[in-house]
């Protein structure tokens, strides 16, 4: 899976250093795997949820949320936002 943009991961890690290792692990797993569908994605990330057109990943034991758009046909994931759990509770898709 191709990830756009890695800069979002770095920027969030700079603001929240404790998120760096979990985000790097998430990135490594996503880049090394391909998914044909949401159900395949769910087998590796059982906590991922589909909210509207976005996929919401729980990072670091629910401390952070990564919101992404995924195009399975092109194997491209677009990071839309990364936020703390508290910020996510106020998010509206």
How far from 66 is each of 59, 84, CA to CA, in Å?
A: 7, 9
- Pairing assessment for the beta strands 76-84 and 64-71 based on DSSP bridges: antiparallel
Q: What is the mean pLDDT of residues 21-35?
A: 95
Higher pLDDT, 91 or 69: 69
CATH class of 2-90: alpha beta
pLDDT at 55 over 80: yes
Using pLDDT thresholds of 50, 70 and 90, give the confidence band for residue 34.
very high
CB 51 within 8 Å of CB 93: yes
Using pLDDT thresholds of 50, 70 and 90, give the confidence band for residue 93.
low
- Convert the pLDDT of each residue in 65-82 to its tens digit: 999 999 999 999 999 999
Listed in order, strand segments (DSSP E) in 44-91 are 49-51, 54-59, 64-71, 76-84
Higher pLDDT, 18 or 61: 18
């Amino acid at each position: 899976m191709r990830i756009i943009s890695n800069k979002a991961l770095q920027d969030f890690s700079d603001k929240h250093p404790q998120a760096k290792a979990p985000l790097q692990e998430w990135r490594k797993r996503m880049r090394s795997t391909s998914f044909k569908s949401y159900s395949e994605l769910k087998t590796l990330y059982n906590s991922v949820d589909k909210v509207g057109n976005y996929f919401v990943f729980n990072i670091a034991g629910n401390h952070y949320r990564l919101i992404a758009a995924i195009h399975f046909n092109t194997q491209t994931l677009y990071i839309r936002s990364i936020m703390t759990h508290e910020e996510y509770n106020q998010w509206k898709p």
